[in-house]
């Protein structure tokens, strides 16, 4: 955690903690997943002054809540975009794509200004802002990004909540 | 030792490659020219050989070289065989005129009369270690694919761009989203991507029954396939198990194998035994390795020729030299079986050097041997020239016997010729032609045979060494 000298003073520790939270919350590391919230500071080590500048680097140990999706996990997500290739949904910070061959076969794509997937009898509809329960079948972890593929083809998966009716 | 591996190869060939044709895809496959199963034949043939020249294999199997090449190329891509391409003089090639030679394939670039053509010969050999791995991988992939389909695991959708053929998976989906958000665009060519269905059990029409039935039918079909596969591949899998613990038969690279084979051959019994091992595939020309070779030396009587040959030898210093070369370096006077070949090979013709190179492959000699041999060649040709000149002189008057006698006492090389003559009396026919052309070696034969006769007879030589 690097700190500018203007923050030195009485509130050094508080400044450090708030800077930490601002920087770290919302980021994603491939190993741990998304950092959702910092819950506590464990330890702040001695600061090391960088050569040439006045910045000081503090090693900070902290605890936090992380979110990492796993293969096989069931999640609820909110649909963000519907496409004839499938739909995109978000479960918190992670984006999930459900391709159309993992959507039950009785649901057909209907384009329009509100593209959606609908059953033949019109009873179930998946469109933007619908909530769906899906199962993660694959994750792709980059250095700073996690992306998932999901399915709603299995039992107990699919739309939870229709935004039009609610 | 090698048998279990050969059996494995045969089983794998029949299991996986028995419907491979070597016809191009755009050619009509008529009933008459259908050659499915050619792959099996080729693989079986390869199990009975080690390193083999592709031309020879084609001849043995009575296949077109092109067809064979296509099949071999396919196998090379499947990593079942290894191939080696080498440039070397055509074995047993006829001597063409200098003009033809100059316009033929890559020549060695020597000036003067260019009698040597360098062709690229291809050799191939089964690669047992890789075969074992390849077969196992193939089985693994087959099983995996079926199992995944069965359990719906293999469900990561694949996309392919119809324009440039680039493939994507569903993981790339957010990157591929087009501007209108409606479909996926290829990253390189902006073409609309197509969904690639990888379902083995494709849904036939009949979706009317609804999802459940279709799904059940698909599962049944997949399970069926899986079971059939297990049953039919059982012998192959068993063979794999048996072969697992055996050491892999290893032939090494082409050069190494040649060296070994010829060395072993020489160790066993000089030339003839070496023949049996390395004969196949190396005597492209059916030149007999025994002492019965009849060769007419076409000696232009120019030093340059001799040197041309010599430099030829030099240029191919990396080539293995015939066994007789080695022994000849040791003792020039004694001609046991090996030396007899000297004359045949020490001809001033390119084809004879070609023949020499045939044998060269049979053995490797150290560089010092090579030097001795070079010296020998020089001396030999010098002597030959001398002899030839004398012969030409002598040919004017019917005192050939005398003329022939004289040279025969001059150097040890003559002695070599002498003994050869004595052994090969009936070869006189071909030697008769020699004087007419100033053939140096023919001079040796002159001794015993009537050389005044016009050379009318051609012998039934395997190789016609004569200059056109």
DSSP B117: B
Contact B174 A95 (CB under 8 A): yes
Question: Distance between CA B103 and CA B127 in Å, rounded?
Answer: 37
CA distances B153 to A30, A154, B197, B224, Å, are 24, 12, 14, 18
Question: Distance between CA B357 and CA B319 in Å, rounded?
Answer: 7
Contact B351/B95 with Cβ under 8 angstroms?
yes
Q: Residue B467 half-sphere exposure, CB side, CA atoms within 13 Å?
A: 21
The B118-126 sheet, strands edge to edge:
B52-53, B118-126, B81-89
Query: Which has the closest alpha carbon to A83: B167, B178, B211?
Result: B178
CB-nearest to B171 from A83, A86, A138 is A138
A14-46 confidence digits (pLDDT tens): 888 888 888 888 888 888 889 988 998 998 888
CA distances B341 to B295, B309, B350, B441, Å, are 10, 17, 16, 12
B152: which chain A residues are within 8 Å (Cβ-Cβ)? 153-154
Contact A85 B171 (CB under 8 A): no
CATH label, B156-198, candidates 3.40.1130, 2.20.28, 3.30.1360, 2.40.40: 2.20.28
For B207, nearest residue in chain A (alpha carbons) = A105
Which stretches within B152-284 are classed as H helix? 173-176, 211-232, 234-244, 254-278
Question: Distance between CA B102 and CA A20 in Å, rounded?
Answer: 80
Name the one residue in this structure whose structure tokens are 């030697």: B431
Tokens coding B31: 């009933």
B221-278 confidence digits (pLDDT tens): 888 888 888 888 888 888 888 888 888 877 777 778 778 777 877 777 554 444 444 4
B114 C-beta neighbours (distance < 10 Å), count:
21
pLDDT value at B88 more than 80: no
Question: Distance between CA B404 and CA A166 in Å, rounded?
Answer: 120
Query: Which has the closest alpha carbon to B327: B278, B362, B279, B300?
Result: B362
Helix (H) or strand (E) holding B131: helix B128-151
Query: Which has the closest alpha carbon to B315: B374, B396, B358, B355?
Result: B374
> Which positions ≥6 away from B188 have C-beta within 8 Å?
B161, B164, B166
> Which positions ≥6 away from A63 have C-beta within 8 Å?
A38, A39, A40, A41, A42
CB-nearest to B156 from A104, A111, A138 is A138
Contact A88 B156 (CB under 8 A): no
Which stretches within B279-411 are classed as H helix? 303-315, 323-330, 337-345, 350-360, 367-396, 400-410
**Mean pLDDT comparison of A34-38, B91-95, B157-161, B448-452, highest-scoring range:** A34-38
Burial bucket for residue A149 (CB in 10 Å: 0-12, 13-18, 19+)? buried
pLDDT value at B362 more than 60: no
For B215, nearest residue in chain A (alpha carbons) = A105
Contact B226/B146 with Cβ under 8 angstroms?
yes
How big is chain A by its Cα radius of gyration, in Å? Answer: 22
The interface residues of chain B toward chain A in range 139-168, judged by CB-CB distance below 8 A, are 152-153, 155-157, 159
Domain ranges across chain B: 2-134+250-254, 156-198, 304-461
pLDDT value at A116 more than 70: yes
Query: Looking at CA atoms only, how far is residue A83 from chain B in angstroms?
Result: 5
B212-230 confidence digits (pLDDT tens): 676 677 778 888 888 888 8
Question: Distance between CA B352 and CA A145 in Å, rounded?
Answer: 71
Concatenating the DSSP letter of every residue in A25-37 gives TT-EETTTEEEEE
Tokens coding B25: 């895809």
Rounded to 10°, the helix B38-47/B3-16 angle is 170
Where is pLDDT greater, at B431 or B325? Answer: B325
Arithmetic mean of pLDDT over chain A = 87
Contact A136/A69 with Cβ under 8 angstroms?
yes
Which stretches within B152-198 are classed as H helix? 173-176
| ipTM of the complex model | 0.73
Arithmetic mean of pLDDT over chain B = 64
The pTM is what?
0.44
pLDDT score of A7? 83
Burial bucket for residue A112 (CB in 10 Å: 0-12, 13-18, 19+)? exposed
HEC per residue, B75-94: HHHCCCEEEEEEEEECCCCC
B197: which chain A residues are within 8 Å (Cβ-Cβ)? 101
B134-152 confidence digits (pLDDT tens): 999 999 998 888 877 776 6
Tokens coding B421: 């003559």
Contact A104 B183 (CB under 8 A): no
Q: Is the CATH number 1.10.10 carried by domain B2-134+250-254?
A: yes
Whether the CA torsion A111, A114, A117, A120 is positive or negative: it is: negative
Concatenating the DSSP letter of every residue in B148-160 gives HHHHT-----EEE
The interface residues of chain B toward chain A in range 205-224, judged by CB-CB distance below 8 A, are 207, 210-211, 214
User: Which of A71, A86, A93, A101 to mutate to test binding with chain B, by most B CBs within 10 Å of its CB?
Assistant: A101
pLDDT classification of B304: cutoffs 50, 70, 90: very low
Residue A26 φ/ψ region, left for φ over 0, alpha for ψ in the -120 to 50 degree band, beta for the rest: left
A149: which chain B residues are within 8 Å (Cβ-Cβ)? 156-157, 170-171, 173
- Decide if B197 touches A, using CB distance below 8 A: yes
B118 forms beta bridges with B89
Contact A98/A152 with Cβ under 8 angstroms?
yes
Query: Which has the closest alpha carbon to B168: B147, B201, B191, B151?
Result: B191
Question: Distance between CA B178 and CA B33 in Å, rounded?
Answer: 49
pLDDT score of A102? 86
Residue B104 φ/ψ region, left for φ over 0, alpha for ψ in the -120 to 50 degree band, beta for the rest: beta
Whether the CA torsion A25, A31, A32, A34 is positive or negative: it is: positive
B42-52 confidence digits (pLDDT tens): 888 888 888 88
B320-359 confidence digits (pLDDT tens): 656 666 554 454 444 444 444 444 444 444 444 444 444 4
Concatenating the DSSP letter of every residue in B410-438 gives HSHHHHHHHHHHHHTGGGHHHHHHHHHHT
pLDDT classification of B173: cutoffs 50, 70, 90: confident
Name the one residue in this structure whose structure tokens are 């279990």: B4
> Which positions ≥6 away from A92 have C-beta within 8 Å?
A34, A36, A67
Question: Distance between CA B341 and CA B324 in Å, rounded?
Answer: 7
What is the pairing mode between strands A56-57 and A2-3? antiparallel
Whether the CA torsion B367, B369, B370, B371 is positive or negative: it is: positive
Query: Which has the closest alpha carbon to A87: A33, A158, A139?
Result: A158
- Decide if A102 touches B, using CB distance below 8 A: yes
Question: Distance between CA B68 and CA B49 in Å, rounded?
Answer: 16
Contact B357/B374 with Cβ under 8 angstroms?
no
């Amino acid at each position: 955690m690097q700190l500018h000298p203007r923050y030195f003073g009485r509130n050094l520790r508080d400044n450090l903690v708030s800077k930490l939270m601002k920087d770290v919350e919302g980021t994603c590391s491939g190993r741990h997943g998304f950092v959702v919230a910092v819950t506590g500071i464990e330890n702040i080590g001695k600061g090391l002054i960088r050569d040439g500048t006045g910045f000081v680097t503090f090693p900070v140990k902290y605890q936090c809540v992380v979110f990492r999706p796993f293969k096989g996990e069931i999640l609820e997500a909110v649909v963000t975009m519907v496409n004839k290739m499938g739909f995109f949904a978000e479960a918190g910070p992670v984006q999930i794509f459900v391709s159309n061959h993992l959507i039950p076969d009785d649901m057909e794509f209907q384009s329009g200004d509100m593209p959606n997937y609908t059953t033949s009898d019109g009873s179930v509809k998946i469109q933007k802002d619908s909530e769906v329960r899906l199962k993660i079948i694959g994750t792709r972890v980059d250095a700073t990004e996690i992306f998932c593929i999901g399915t709603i083809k299995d039992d107990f998966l699919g739309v939870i909540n229709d935004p039009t009716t609610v | 030792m090698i048998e279990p591996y050969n059996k494995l190869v045969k089983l794998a060939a029949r299991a996986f490659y028995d419907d491979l044709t070597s016809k191009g895809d755009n050619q009509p496959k008529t009933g008459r020219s259908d050659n499915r199963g050619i792959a099996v034949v080729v693989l079986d043939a390869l199990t009975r050989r080690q390193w083999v020249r592709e031309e020879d294999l084609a001849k043995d199997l009575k296949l077109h070289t092109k067809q064979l090449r296509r099949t071999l190329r396919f196998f090379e891509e499947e990593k079942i065989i290894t191939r080696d391409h080498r440039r070397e003089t055509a074995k047993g090639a006829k001597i063409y005129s200098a003009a033809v030679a100059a316009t033929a394939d890559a020549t060695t670039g020597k000036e003067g009369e260019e009698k040597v053509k360098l062709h690229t010969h291809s050799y191939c050999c089964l690669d047992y270690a890789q075969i074992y791995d390849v077969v196992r991988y193939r089985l693994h992939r087959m099983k995996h694919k079926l199992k995944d389909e069965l359990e719906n695991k293999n469900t990561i959708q694949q996309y392919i761009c119809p324009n440039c053929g680039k493939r994507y998976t569903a993981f790339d989906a957010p990157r591929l989203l087009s501007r209108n958000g409606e479909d996926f665009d290829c990253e390189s060519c902006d073409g609309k991507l197509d969904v690639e269905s990888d379902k083995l059990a494709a849904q036939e029409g009949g979706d009317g029954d609804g999802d459940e039935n279709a799904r059940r039918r698909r599962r049944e079909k997949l399970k069926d396939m899986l079971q059939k596969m297990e049953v039919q591949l059982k012998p192959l899998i068993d063979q794999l198990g048996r072969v697992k613990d055996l050491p892999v038969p290893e032939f090494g690279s082409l050069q190494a194998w040649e060296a070994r084979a010829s060395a072993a051959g020489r160790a066993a019994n000089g030339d003839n035994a070496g023949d049996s091992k390395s004969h196949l595939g190396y005597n492209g020309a059916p030149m007999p390795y025994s002492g019965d070779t009849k060769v007419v030396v076409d000696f232009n009587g120019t030093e340059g020729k001799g040197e041309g040959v010599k430099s030829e030898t030099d240029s191919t210093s990396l080539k293995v030299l015939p066994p007789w070369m080695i022994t000849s370096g040791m003792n020039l006077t004694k001609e046991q079986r090996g030396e007899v070949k000297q004359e045949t090979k020490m001809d001033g013709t390119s084809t004879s050097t070609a023949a020499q190179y045939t044998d060269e492959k049979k053995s490797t000699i150290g560089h010092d041997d090579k030097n001795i041999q070079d010296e020998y060649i020089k001396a030999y040709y010098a002597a030959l020239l001398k002899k030839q000149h004398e012969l030409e002189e002598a040919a004017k008057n019917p005192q050939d016997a005398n003329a022939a006698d004289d040279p025969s006492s001059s150097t040890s090389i003559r002695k070599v010729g002498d003994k050869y003559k004595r052994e090969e009396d009936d070869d006189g026919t071909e030697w008769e032609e020699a004087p007419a052309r100033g053939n140096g070696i023919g001079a040796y034969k002159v001794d015993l045979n009537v050389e005044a006769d016009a050379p009318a007879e051609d012998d039934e030589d395997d190789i016609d060494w004569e200059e056109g």
